[in-house]
Amino acid sequence: MEKQTILTGIRPTGHLHLGHYFGACSNWIKLQEKFDTYIEIADVQALTDNFNNPDKVRKSVRQLVVDLLSIGIDPKKATIFIQSTIPEIAELTVFYSNLVTIARLQRNPTVKTEIKQKKELFGESGESITYGFLGYPVSQAADITAFKGKLVPVGEDQLPLIEQCREIVHKFNSIYGQTLIEPKAYLSEIPRIKGLDGNEKMGKSLGNAIFLADDEKTIKQKIMGAITDPNKIKIDDPANPNICMVYYYHKLIKNPNIETVCEECKNGKRGCVVCKKELINHMLEFLKPITDKRKYYENHPEIVDQILKEGNQKAKKIAENTMKEVKKSMKINYFE
Ligand code: TRP
Ligand code: SF4
């Protein structure tokens, strides 16, 4: 039986953090065993937000690929490619842009949240909202459909974008005839990871993230500053681990002593400093194999480039094929 295709993407704007890892990427590592897996480094999408910072996007592309390889994405099983090397995606974006209204894009919950964040950053002028930014969900629909992705493994924040893609596909197929596949989102077990500060979401711009590439000193500092039960003042005060971020990360990285942590915390038998130190040790142990692999790829940039070149080539062929079908359906295949 032919393997089903899954496609996912990630913006190159910096290193991966635990939110990416547990919220989405660890799922990709499992899925690559069973599915024909495509992972897009969404540089064009990153530029919608960072068009005035091309150096950052460029640098992040290889950094991100190194991170992905370090956590166990296997280039023999998953095709990693760069969005901008597939011009078909840009072409599809233009065609799809007729199938979505501006009002609908403005109502997209993910876009709405991002616009709100931008306004908080840049003030109410709204000047920072470009045509390209508002349209990125259309471009994301092109990402997914170019590869006939059936399942899209993502974190929870991406659900409105998958829904937007489904609507575009539905409209396309109903006007031009059955051509594209309506994708389904595929959430991981924990689709959203909390930040060190207790925020519901770990995010790079929120300053509450542990990056997979953080060095020992940074990890120590960050964990020592994590939010614990605010009612625990003295070492022997009983506390509630369920409102403590240190406990949350103990659980997340599967500390085998988790029961003890919980009991001791509840009974006032554990101080927060000791508890944090224990988490630091487990975190460093958890990150060690990832760090070792990163060093390997950082020392072999030619291997990373080769993986990307091959990935781009393979992805391009599939997108070209979809493009032919789309042009035929839209009756713009003039010389066939
Ligand atoms: N929007 C996603 C993010 O912000 C990245 C992305 C780009 C993506 N293209 C995609 C995700 C296609 C899933 C499918 O991380
Ligand atoms: Fe959190 Fe540990 Fe302190 Fe309990 S003892 S509040 S789990 S840091």
Q: Which ligand is nearest to the CA of 64?
A: 1
The best mutation among 16, 64, 79, 154 to test binding of ligand 1, ranked by most ligand atoms within 8 Å of the C-beta, falls on 154
Residues 6+ apart with CB under 8 A from 22: 188, 190, 193, 252
43 CB less than 6 Å from ligand 1?
no
- Domain boundary assignment for the chain: 5-194+301-330, 214-294
146 CB less than 6 Å from ligand 1?
no
The best mutation among 5, 6, 7, 11 to test binding of ligand 1, ranked by most ligand atoms within 8 Å of the C-beta, falls on 11
219-275 per-position pLDDT tens digit: 999 999 999 999 999 999 999 999 999 999 999 999 999 999 999 999 999 999 999
Structure confidence at residue 127 as a pLDDT band (50, 70, 90): low
- Which residue's CA is the nearest one to ligand 1's atom 3? 10
40 CB less than 6 Å from ligand 1?
yes
Q: For the whole model, what pTM was predicted? A: 0.94
304-325 per-position pLDDT tens digit: 999 999 999 999 999 999 999 9
Q: Do domains 5-194+301-330 and 214-294 have the same CATH topology?
A: no
CATH level 3 topology of 5-194+301-330 = Rossmann fold (3.40.50)
Q: Give the CATH architecture of domain 214-294.
A: Orthogonal Bundle (1.10)
- Which residue's CA is the nearest one to ligand 1's atom 5? 10
